[in-house]
Amino acid sequence: MTRPLPATGRLREHGYRHRRARLGSDSRVSGVHASTARAILTMTFAGWAQILVYCVVLLLVTKPMGLYLVKVYDGSFKWLGPVERALYRLGGIEPSEDQHWTRYAASLLVFTAVSTIVTYVALRLQGRLPLNPENLPNVVDRQAFETATSFTSNTNWQSYSGETTMSYLSQMTQLAFHNFASAAVGVAAAVALVRGIARRSAGRIGNFYVDLVRGTLYLYIPFSIVLALLFVQQGAIQNFHPYLHIATLEGAKQTLVMGPVASQEAIKQLGTNGGGFFNANSAHPFENPTPWSNFLQILAIFLIPAGLTYFLGRTVKSQRHGWAVWSAMFVLFIAGVAVAYWAEARGNPIHAARGVDVVASASNPGGNMEGKEVRFGIANSALFATITTDASCGAVNSMHDSFTPIGGMVPMVNIQLGELVYGGVGSGLYAMIVEVVLAVFIAGLMVGRTPEYLGKKIESREIRVVMVYVLVYAFVVLTFAAISSVIPAGLAGLNNTGPHGFSEILYAFSSTVANNGSAFAGLTGSTYYYNTMFGFAMLFGRFAMMVPALALAGFLAERKAAPESAGTFPVTTPLFVTLLVGVIMIVTALTFFPALSLGPIVEHFLMQAGKLF
């Protein structure tokens, strides 16, 4: 039998956290210090070389991906024309209709509402449906609700072990469907916002159903097929076999879980969904077998979001603006990687004080290896953790809860920034455009001119929806986390006390509301309280933010484009990039710094003083 697993979050790690908690009960170690010199020694050339190679490849793929996206969404591609037209006929869609933003948003909401309810019903009836060789029972009501909302919101927060809960039918027709559809919905919203900037069209921003169909047919399906084949070549499994029950060399019985893993893996990363076939997610060798598959996975996460910045530049006819947005994202990305790598390479000073060798050598990765795959080591774990939380992916190849306090704060802050560092597919770009509008508005106030963004005046109604967008996230995260930190139902799920316990709750709501899906998994989220709270948190985080973004698209589309003047703040310069990064950091710092102070920041100082939680 498969070992029963505690169910909470994307990746469960009770064993590690409990060990750490036990250590914490008597772990005051005096005179704990880890020198900066040791930390620098432990960050290796090989580690930084891998990060550098990743950055170069990301830069190189941005333009071709952007050009491909332009052709997908301007209708140039027609090689699946018959399929496309058949889908329109089947759905009674008039593809030439140019929808007002309100109709575009309503179409998006109705499509998602129906698909969410269908998934809920399908999961509740799973035990009676085919393609269930393990005879898995119906999914319980609270988990069916959370899973349905999780996958339709592109979050893929999982409070269950996929291999012991979901039948092949549920995985393939429900979860995989939403992996494609929710990603296509996200990109559609971003494309609509870019059209709103580029157009003068009385609030009309395209056709939601056309964007959904074209994104699925021309973008996600072909890219996923190619990527799935690459994963199979690397050793990821892809079959419909029943689980294998084998005897180990020691004579113990072991269950090897089978299934269509490679295909799930491809769309999981390309769509920044993140939900793993296995409980261990991308730390599992059947999902992520080699260093090359690991590289492909993290490249797939940023591929489309990075390309969307080029798409933005091309569509608004200011390629330099697209690259400026890309650069702001890159600054935030590399800063996150550097801090996470530094913190994890530096390791836990308490380990060092107890005689654990935390210095990297030919036979020792050094640093903090708790919760990390030996195959990937510290650099690739820090890189993966940063990328998956910059985007709204949430796939993991290491356990974020086992990171050092500062190392673990990086994924949390990335999520709280709004996942706009390349970001989720589509959601990253529209989140960044919201921040751009805010930055332009602030720049306009500083020089006393009416703010303009690419020729469109930014006035009170645009700023109102921008502020609604910014406040929804902060309000839902902080309110839900505060309630859960004081009521018995919220505290019942905690396996760690003190600041780390609070960090687990804060991370959970930051992750679910931002539709990331990764977890500080010491929190037991598989309860009626948390399943229900997380379900609504994910819905609010997705749609109560997407609707203001579409409203912004409509408002901008109604405006005439004014020619640039001497008073126009240029959005293509290093000054703009600096201002944009500053606005993002300040908005986040003002919102979340007090909460972070109660969690990872105080935990860091207590760790330095020799106390763990």
Partner 1 sequence: MLDVVYVLGIAGFFGLMIAFVHGLERLGHDATAPGDGEAS
The site for partner 1 (CB under 8 A) is made up of: 102, 105-106, 109-110, 112-113, 116-117, 120-121, 124, 141-142, 144-145, 148-149, 450, 457, 459-461, 464-465, 468, 535-536, 539-540, 543-544, 547-548, 550-551, 554-555, 558-560
Which string of b and e fits 543-581 if b means at least 16 CB within 10 Å?
A: bbbbbbbbbbbbbbbbbebeeeeeebbebbeeebbebbb
Using CA atoms, how far residue 486 sits from 182, 492, 530, in Å, is: 33, 10, 14
> Is residue 264 within 8 Å of residue 300, measured between CB atoms?
no
Cα(117)–Cα(149) distance, integer angstroms? 9
Using CA atoms, how far residue 496 sits from 25, 348, 522, in Å, is: 11, 18, 7
Cα(397)–Cα(375) distance, integer angstroms? 10
Using CA atoms, how far residue 435 sits from 345, 370, 451, 576, 600, in Å, is: 32, 36, 14, 12, 26
The least distance separating partner 1 from the CB of residue 231, rounded to whole angstroms, comes to 33
The least distance separating partner 1 from the CB of residue 560, rounded to whole angstroms, comes to 6
- Nearer to partner 1 among residue 123 and residue 387 (C-beta): 123
- Nearer to partner 1 among residue 550 and residue 595 (C-beta): 550
Grouping H, G, I as helix, E, B as strand and the rest as coil, residue 130 is coil
Q: Are strands 452-453 and 456-457 parallel, antiparallel or unpaired?
A: antiparallel
The least distance separating partner 1 from the CB of residue 10, rounded to whole angstroms, comes to 22
The least distance separating partner 1 from the CB of residue 547, rounded to whole angstroms, comes to 5
Grouping H, G, I as helix, E, B as strand and the rest as coil, residue 610 is coil
The least distance separating partner 1 from the CB of residue 544, rounded to whole angstroms, comes to 7
> Is residue 37 within 8 Å of residue 278, measured between CB atoms?
no
- Nearer to partner 1 among residue 146 and residue 163 (C-beta): 146
**565: amino acid identity, one letter:** S
The least distance separating partner 1 from the CB of residue 543, rounded to whole angstroms, comes to 5
The least distance separating partner 1 from the CB of residue 539, rounded to whole angstroms, comes to 5
Residue 130 neighbours by CB distance under 10 Å: 8
For 316-403, where are the alpha helices, taking DSSP H only? 319-346, 349-353, 377-390
Using CA atoms, how far residue 336 sits from 103, 192, 271, 421, 529, in Å, is: 39, 29, 22, 10, 33
Residue 140 neighbours by CB distance under 10 Å: 16
> Is residue 300 within 8 Å of residue 269, measured between CB atoms?
yes
- Containing H/E element for 452? strand 452-453
The least distance separating partner 1 from the CB of residue 199, rounded to whole angstroms, comes to 14
The least distance separating partner 1 from the CB of residue 561, rounded to whole angstroms, comes to 11
Cα(441)–Cα(457) distance, integer angstroms? 10
The least distance separating partner 1 from the CB of residue 559, rounded to whole angstroms, comes to 6
Cα(372)–Cα(114) distance, integer angstroms? 39
The least distance separating partner 1 from the CB of residue 234, rounded to whole angstroms, comes to 38
- Nearer to partner 1 among residue 118 and residue 602 (C-beta): 118
- Nearer to partner 1 among residue 46 and residue 121 (C-beta): 121
The least distance separating partner 1 from the CB of residue 557, rounded to whole angstroms, comes to 11
- Nearer to partner 1 among residue 84 and residue 558 (C-beta): 558
Which string of b and e fits 342-374 if b means at least 16 CB within 10 Å?
A: bbbbbbbbbbbbeeeebebeeeebbbbbbbbbe
Question: What does the block give as tokens for 548?
Answer: 């203001």
- Nearer to partner 1 among residue 105 and residue 236 (C-beta): 105
Residue 470 neighbours by CB distance under 10 Å: 20
- Nearer to partner 1 among residue 105 and residue 296 (C-beta): 105
- Nearer to partner 1 among residue 125 and residue 487 (C-beta): 125
- Nearer to partner 1 among residue 201 and residue 234 (C-beta): 201
- Nearer to partner 1 among residue 456 and residue 500 (C-beta): 456
The least distance separating partner 1 from the CB of residue 542, rounded to whole angstroms, comes to 10
Grouping H, G, I as helix, E, B as strand and the rest as coil, residue 256 is strand
- Nearer to partner 1 among residue 135 and residue 460 (C-beta): 460
- Nearer to partner 1 among residue 300 and residue 550 (C-beta): 550
Show the CA angle centred on residue 191, arms to residues 439 and 590, nearest 5°: 30
The least distance separating partner 1 from the CB of residue 517, rounded to whole angstroms, comes to 19
The least distance separating partner 1 from the CB of residue 550, rounded to whole angstroms, comes to 8
- Nearer to partner 1 among residue 63 and residue 559 (C-beta): 559
- Nearer to partner 1 among residue 46 and residue 110 (C-beta): 110
Q: At what angle do helices 176-198 and 427-447 cross, to 10 degrees?
A: 30
- Residue 470: name the closest of 309, 583, 312, 575 by CA: 583
- Residue 319: name the closest of 306, 329, 309, 333 by CA: 309
